[in-house]
Amino acid sequence: MKKHPFFWGFLCLSVMALFFYSFSKNFLDYLEDREGGGQKIAVVEVKGVINESDEIVEKLKKYGKDSSIKGILVRINSPGGGVAPSQEIYSEILRIRKETGKKVVASMASLGASGGYYIAVAANRIIANPGTITGSIGVIMPISNVEELLKKIGLKTDVVKSGEFKDSGSPNRQMTEEERKIFQASADDIHDQFMDAVSKGRKMKMERVRELADGRIYTGRQAYKVGLIDKLGGFEDAVDLLVEISGIKGEPKIVREKKEKGLLYRMIQGDTKSFLQENILNQFSGFQYLWKM
């Protein structure tokens, strides 16, 4: 079927508009990054459940390598999430501090619990609002048991395995005592790793950390009283603190993360797979540094 000339004209205009938008946006971003000379601080946001760490770690690396960035503010609004992603972000913050000497301030919004707090203890300073929910220093691994439900609907599962504990944690049957001991030992070990990070980050004796690390939550004000954070305040207070400890003179230029691409934009770019992975498919199981109500 022959295309109408109007179609080709519309297509050409659309391509030109997309090219112009991309060029102008990149040019404006370049000009924006040039502002402020060497007196710039970067903001990296950690929002929602922490399912993966790649994007956040890449942003941290980028700002760590940028010589014009004098300090990094990690803005946290998260109940935590997967153990490994939380640890990877934590490790990257420590690496930047060690290799570049740049200062990092963790600023908690409404929520900075469990894995969110784990990330925060890697920073030079932690600041939270008086009403911020934080703490929850612990490990959780929810395991469902649908055995009775399966019996009611007449469904039975046969398992072929090569090791005694290969199907440990199966929702199709009751957990054995030996399996419970194995899971508990793993949870205790991961909990110890969390407490060790808190002990080092907060320069706190392990005995004191153990008293605080029973999984309970703290308000920002409570956390300040027991030494889990350094200061009470909001985002602007965190900026001021970072400016102070970074030795920045005058008002700094704040470099913010670019907004995430929406679903419509990703569909136009043919990037729906990554959107689904990040928001739907990339859910995790296993042990978690996660606060759940």
Smallest CA-to-CA distance from 216 within 228, 204, 201 is with 228
CA distance 54 to 289: 17
Is 114 one of the catalytic residues?
Answer: yes
Smallest CA-to-CA distance from 15 within 5, 4, 3, 7 is with 7
Q: Where are the domains of the chain?
A: 37-290
178-220 pLDDT per residue, tens: 999 998 999 999 999 999 999 999 999 999 999 999 999 999 9
Query: Which pLDDT belongs to residue 83?
Result: 95
CA distance 255 to 261: 18
Cβ neighbours around 67 below 10 Å, total: 10
Smallest CA-to-CA distance from 116 within 130, 95, 137 is with 137
Six-digit token string for 80: 């935590």
**pLDDT digit of tens for each residue in the chain (293 aa)?**
555 555 556 656 666 665 565 555 454 554 444 444 458 999 999 999 999 999 999 999 999 999 999 999 999 999 999 999 999 999 999 999 999 999 999 999 999 999 999 999 999 999 999 999 999 999 988 888 887 887 888 888 888 888 888 888 788 888 899 999 998 999 999 999 999 999 999 999 999 999 999 999 999 999 999 999 999 999 999 999 999 999 998 889 999 876 655 545 444 445 544 444 444 444 445 677 677 65
| Residue from 78, 86, 107, 114 carrying the catalytic annotation | 114
| Residue from 61, 151, 161, 166 carrying the catalytic annotation | 166
Is 67 one of the catalytic residues?
Answer: no
Q: What's the start-to-end Cα distance of the chain, in Å?
A: 59
Smallest CA-to-CA distance from 217 within 132, 105, 141 is with 132
Cα torsion at 168, 174, 176, 179 (round to 10°)? 30
The string of DSSP codes covering 168-223 is: TT-TTSPPPHHHHHHHHHHHHHHHHHHHHHHHHHTT--HHHHHHH-SS-EEEHHHH
Backbone angles phi, psi at 112, to 5 degrees: -150, 65
Q: Under CATH, what is the fold of the domain 37-290?
A: 2-enoyl-CoA Hydratase; Chain A, domain 1 (3.90.226)
SS3 157: coil
Number of H helices, E strands in the chain: 11, 10
SS3 248: coil
CA distances from 213 to 148, 150, 195, 210, 251 (A): 35, 38, 7, 5, 38
Query: Which pLDDT belongs to residue 286?
Result: 66
Query: Is 57 in contact with 88 (CB distance < 8 Å)?
Result: yes
